[in-house]
Amino acid sequence: MEQDHDDGPNFLTLDQQTNWDGLPLVKYDGFWLPLCLFRSILSAQTHFKAKSGDLILTSFPKSGTTWLKALVVSIAGRYAVTGAQSPLLTCNPHALVPFFEYENADYFQHLPSRRIISTHISYKTLPESIREESECKIIYICRNPLDTFVSYRHFSLDNEFGQGEDDAGPLPLGLDEAFDMFCRGIYSFGPSWDHVLGYWNAHLANPEKVLFLKYEDLKEDVEFSYVKKIAGFMGCPFSEEEKKRGVIEEIARLCSFESLKNLEVNKTGSFQGAAKNSSFFRKGEVGDWRNHLSDVMAERFKKIMESKFEGSGLMFTI
């Protein structure tokens, strides 16, 4: 991947840390970014030009990104469970919707309209053309931060990210040390609370431009109204005839965690040669953090959330 090394600040002038899993981090725009992705992010921030009709899928890591990508691709193409034409049957969702972080800005200029692009970067770090200069839309999905922490820890360990040693000793760090860093906001794309609040406030300011979804709400929605909500936001609502044919239910089933996990394409292979396709589908449960974190840990983070989210109208169950 070619990167423009003349873009933005030199990372050597910025604060740096080593993530609990050994990945070097650099602090930019108030967020800790993986150093290996820093130049790509700067390239996108500086050079990406949004177009009317673009759809940007955003999330903090392990918040339901894979699920959201599958849903949007299926809604846009009206792919049904029985339709062999669905690209989800042959491609991992991440191969269908590219990340800003993994490509040079020039790559996106050659994608056909309507462009669907994803990112883990904060609202503040998005290219200005997305935030202010265009009619493109943003969908953000968030999840209980404690579940994202547990999910990312399993994901990173499964893929053996950043294994080795630093000055403090062997990596990755243990659960207690990793959780301490998470609570201090030193985490890939963290702090998590600032990430969520940035998109939440953007949604409140302009709900026609930014759709804000909660993973937990989608999991509890047995009527699949979230499929209709996303389709309406995208500007491609379902017709009455499609509703009668059960297209909404078929899309929801195709994109369910169990369905995606059991597809052969997601049992083998890898994304960007780094993350196993299977590692994107561990449990997908709400509240799994309770099986891994102590009451003391939960209480510590609860106090952080209450402080950070006070007055925002947003909260997660701890």
The first and second tokens of residue 274, run together, are 């780094």
Phi, psi of 5 (to 5 degrees): -80, 5
For residue 216, the tally of other CB atoms under 10 A from its CB is 17
Residue 256 CA neighbour count, 13 Å, CB half? 16
Indicate whether 28 pLDDT > 70.
yes
Indicate whether 4 pLDDT > 50.
no
Separation of alpha carbons 191 and 189, rounded Å: 7
pLDDT value for 126: 96
Separation of alpha carbons 192 and 173, rounded Å: 19
Average pLDDT over the chain, rounded to an integer? 87
Q: What residues are annotated to the active site?
A: 120
Give pLDDT tens digits for 147-159.
Answer: 999 988 887 776 5
Indicate whether 188 pLDDT > 80.
yes
**DSSP letter at 98?**
-
**DSSP letter at 28?**
E
The first and second tokens of residue 61, run together, are 């890591």
Q: Is 311 left (phi over 0), alpha (psi -120 to 50) or beta?
A: left
pLDDT value for 317: 85
Pairing of strands 169-171, 164-166: antiparallel
Lowest mean pLDDT among 60-64, 285-289, 300-304: 285-289
Give pLDDT tens digits for 211-224.
Answer: 999 999 999 998 99
Q: Where are the alpha helices (DSSP H) in the chain?
A: 38-47, 65-77, 93-96, 105-109, 128-131, 145-159, 175-183, 192-205, 215-220, 225-234, 240-244, 247-254, 257-262, 295-308
Task: Tell me the domains of the chain and their CATH numbers.
Answer: 26-145+185-287 (3.40.50.300)
Give pLDDT tens digits for 62-106.
Answer: 999 999 999 999 999 887 645 558 898 888 898 899 999 988 878
Q: What is the pTM of this model?
A: 0.89
